Structure 1
């Protein structure tokens, strides 16, 4: 996770999450070569591996991969071509077993160095998935930092959605990022353990700089990636809870801890909650901007972060999730 002479390193990630029906063959029984092929298509490779009763977790040359029996989440940064991993990933299970797919691109700092644009990727996904899914596109956020999201769900395929929290931080404090250098390993470990107590952590320090960690606990995972580039510094955090359960840590507290630690110049919080069975179709969407008077629901993480003000909040339906997106900037009031 280091820059080259050709271009600075791109920290903001692309993310692909594919879920298959519960009666599909288990992804965890596939050989390592199958995942090497999927990752190779995207331009990434496995650095280290760990696992527990629910997850196989991999630190990658460019971020992370998490595999459960019926879902795979790939997170890649740099100049990876994550969309090219879709076809080999879908080929791992029967076509009729596809339940839902989410594909996101965070706003890049150096978009001219990317091989494709989000619209190119979304068009490719629409062609690959065809009429078997209900699909849609969203742009979350306003200004320089946003998230483009493609979402698709297959009608009539059983679903078991989970809960996911993402925190995206642009312009983090360089001093805070320095604590995640190899020579500061005990400090880095302590910081992550404070945010995710009880997680078994598997860390990797990149040369000359950059840090990734995966953590597993009680059917949940967390991952943190630190890109301390002089240009385009960036930190991301993700926490996914167990199926049918709740997040194993206080997520509101975790967001506040991350903000206090990294003091980023911009922060985006995404909270994915399972929809109730009677919820709207996957293509339905509603948006509520910051300033709209309404009571904050529990899932609206990021609504009250010390030292930060909400500049936008949106609520959408994406596949089988209610997605709450909150955009924050440092408070200007004393």
Structure 2
């Protein structure tokens, strides 16, 4: 355990065959490196309960950590965090990636993978894999695991997203096209909805959501409404029936209209994702073995963090990083109940880097503040010097707590100094407007903003922006 109270575990001696995620193999399990590695990740997030507390409430509570899983947080784990690591490894075999190391604290378990990252909370999980991994094949198995260890009858909500692939023809058949991925997910979730955001003939972003909340969307000032339904009882759908949903991680956030208390500040539901291509070759020298370090693994990873300025992004977080042979870098970081993750493919002809965070308790980067998001994006971009940048920002719209406050302020309650009913109503209306405002994206120094897209869903806002370097 390190001085921050986070538990690290290396998987290097487990006998697993480690795959290098860049250069030496074509995405984990194909025969030989073809000269083109697919950096853009497939990103899956599955929610089985609204909060960690509700996960603990519905959990069967009979499973115990195996001897392999015993650590300082064994007694604090609940819900999905009580799934033995051997079972998670078996699930990851379906995806064709392996665990390199783990980083744990009292809130979540972080798994650094041979191909990106895996995060487990009591009530949700986030799985992010690159290369030619077969991520969606894990969905049925995850549903089985959640039923066994959490007692969940189905998923509350599923989110799957990815940037457009550089080399789609090298993917396994399921992931070769967005249409095939959507068809597969529709077979599991009949109420699902698929979106393509951005230019179809340039960089763009795909999103699939299951669950009962249909969106209302607007793009560049044009507005339309989708047919909304709260009925998720379609035959064969493994979506748990519930009107209460709450989401706060790498995808959107949905709060139930039945919520009666504001979420604490530590759970502010804002997530920033930064996807970069055309990385600066000089800065990428550090991402090769022999650049910042001649040591593969965690020691090399730490050297890369220091040499590139990555360590300065979240200096108070605990990080777990890895430098691969002959090139490539991955990092997971945890801070409180949030995480951040970085993955880099440095080869010039297919260079790519991703950064994602939902850390809401950092003094410098308050993700509720557009100025702080601009500062964060600029600091991350400065590390990699990309030619093209895609940014997505999700922000929860805490309408229900504000509506509750509205009712309270409408009553002649005591105040010091006392406020009139009109003043109370004005105060809550101001707070409601702030809560419901979508996240905003400002220009990035040195880049031109080409695409701006806003989606306004029932209980959260999504901003998408695409930038190109100005030179």
Equivalent of 2:358 in 231, 240, 246:
240
Equivalent of 1:68 in 91, 103, 121:
121
Aligned residues: 309
Which segments of structure 1 move beyond 4 Å, counting only runs of 4 or more?
246-249, 317-320
Asked whether the 8 Å contact 2:389–2:467 carries over to 1, the reply is yes
TM-score normalised by L of structure 1 = 0.85
CA drift of 1:189 comes to 1.6
Paired with 2:160 and 2:386, the residues of 1 have a C-alpha distance of: 25
Paired with 1:314 and 1:96, the residues of 2 have a C-alpha distance of: 35
1:230/1:260 Cα in 2 relative to 1: closer, same or farther (>3 Å)? closer
Paired with 1:109 and 1:46, the residues of 2 have a C-alpha distance of: 25
CA drift of 1:270 comes to 0.6
In the other structure, the counterpart of 2:195 is 138
In the other structure, the counterpart of 1:292 is none
CA drift of 1:248 comes to 9.9
In the other structure, the counterpart of 1:122 is 182
In the other structure, the counterpart of 1:2 is 22
Asked whether the 8 Å contact 1:152–1:319 carries over to 2, the reply is no
- Whose relative contact order is higher, 1 or 2, with alpha carbons under 8 Å and at least 6 apart? 1
CA drift of 1:43 comes to 1.1
CA drift of 1:277 comes to 4.5
TM-score normalised by L of structure 2 = 0.62
Secondary structure class of the residue paired with 1:93: helix
Q: Within 5 Å, give how 1:173-184 maps onto structure 2.
A: 173-183=280-290, 184=292
Task: Say whether residues 1:330 and 2:388 are aligned partners.
Answer: no
Asked whether the 8 Å contact 2:438–2:463 carries over to 1, the reply is no
CA drift of 1:157 comes to 4.4
Larger Rg: 2
Asked whether the 8 Å contact 1:220–1:242 carries over to 2, the reply is yes
CA drift of 1:109 comes to 1.1
In the other structure, the counterpart of 2:332 is 214
Task: Say whether residues 1:263 and 2:291 are aligned partners.
Answer: no
Deviations 1:212-245 (A, max 9, x none): 01111121111011101232100000001359xx
Deviations 1:145-183 (A, max 9, x none): 111111122452432322211000011101112223444
In the other structure, the counterpart of 1:147 is 205
Structure whose residues are more often strand by fraction: 1
Give ranges in structure 1 of 5+ residues lacking alignment.
Answer: 279-296
Asked whether the 8 Å contact 2:22–2:324 carries over to 1, the reply is yes
Structure whose residues are more often helix by fraction: 2
1:105/1:319 Cα in 2 relative to 1: closer, same or farther (>3 Å)? farther
